[in-house]
Amino acid sequence: AQKITQTQPGMFVQEKEAVTLDCTYDTSDPSYGLFWYKQPSSGEMIFLIYQGSYDQQNATEGRYSLNFQKARKSANLVISASQLGDSAMYFCAMRDASGNTPLVFGKGTRLSVIA
Smallest gap from residue 27 Cβ to another protein (A): 10
Query: Closer to another protein at the Cβ: 13 or 108?
Result: 108
Name the residue among 42, 21, 30 with its Cα closest to residue 93: 21
Query: Closer to another protein at the Cβ: 4 or 113?
Result: 4
Footprint of another protein (CB under 8 A): 29, 31-33, 35, 37, 42-47, 50, 52-53, 91, 93, 95-97, 99-108
Residue length of the chain: 115
Smallest gap from residue 42 Cβ to another protein (A): 8
Smallest gap from residue 44 Cβ to another protein (A): 4
CA angle at residue 27 from 58 to 35, to 5 degrees? 40
CB atoms within 10 A of CB 61: 12
Name the residue among 102, 80, 76, 109 with its Cα closest to residue 15: 80
